[in-house]
Homo-oligomer: A and B are copies of this chain.
Amino acid sequence: MTPRDARPADERSFLASYDASAFPHPSVAVDVAVVTIEDGELKALLVRRTEHPHRGRWSLPGGFVGMRESLDAAARRVLAGKGGLSKVYLEQLYTFGAPKRDPRTRVISIAYYALVHPGKLRDIGIESDTSRLATLQVPWAGEEGGRVHAVDERGRKLPLAFDHADMLGLVVLRLRGKLDYAGIGFELLPREFTLRQLQTVYETILDRSLNKDSFRRRMLASGRVVPTGRQEAHVGHRPAALYRFSRDV
């Protein structure tokens, strides 16, 4: 939509008929869930809040949307601010707009999620006092009070600010839904990977074990996975062949 439909449709100029300052506008922000898989666990990048509200809690990195900036551009700017994450898979997730989600003023937030493989994330030195990679604990699907928890390396729950737990919960559901459909699994792996690594990504996202043989057959038959001719080295057993993702079909 755009003009106020309820307005009398007389012949004033469109500038006169739409006065942006005539009523208050909400603030618009983006929040970005940077997700990776490490040691068979889903993890997300969290930053500690240093200001009210929810001071001391953990939140997704975010920022306000500039007046001349697209939503995607705002999300990429937030990513760039977090140590140079560029060229990563980024997709809009959902828009959160409960009137009281921020106690200060009305803030509507467009949530995004980015997928990175753990090596890339560790390279840019994420862990610090105000930034960490938190493990996502996903309760059983549809379970009562099935909210996603973020925990530290010792399993202690990290308190999340605002509705960011809802955002992370939606990320998990979206990943499960798009896993087969789109090439999401590959975004969480380095450029070359073994089928075992790919299966671990699938099993982590789906939170269930998969049949090894049929997984292998299905992936090879899909044509989205092509052998590079190389194989792993120094793994203490027969090395697996390395594959890469093929976008075409």
Residues of chain A at the chain B interface (Cβ within 8 Å)? 1-7, 9, 13-15, 17-18, 20, 23-31, 47, 49-53, 59-65, 67-71, 78, 81, 92, 94-95, 97-99, 102, 104-110, 161-162, 177, 181
Contacts and interface: CB of A to CB of B under 8 A. Distances in A.
Contacts of A60: 1
Contacts of A4: 63-64
Contact of A59 (B1, B28, B53): B1
Nearest to A31: B1
A99 B68 contact: yes
B51 A70 contact: no
Q: Select the residue from A49, A51, A107, A161 with max chain B CB neighbours within 10 A.
A: A51
A14 B51 contact: yes
B3 A52 contact: yes
A99 B108 CA distance: 17
Contact of A51 (B17, B20, B161): B17
Given A1-B61, A108-B65, A52 B99 contact: no
A104 to B, nearest CB: 5
Contact of A62 (B1, B71, B105, B107): B1
A94 B25 CA distance: 20
Given A1-B59, A28-B28, A68-B99, 8 more contacts: A1-B29, A1-B109, A2-B107, A2-B161, A3-B52, A5-B62, A24-B67, A92-B94
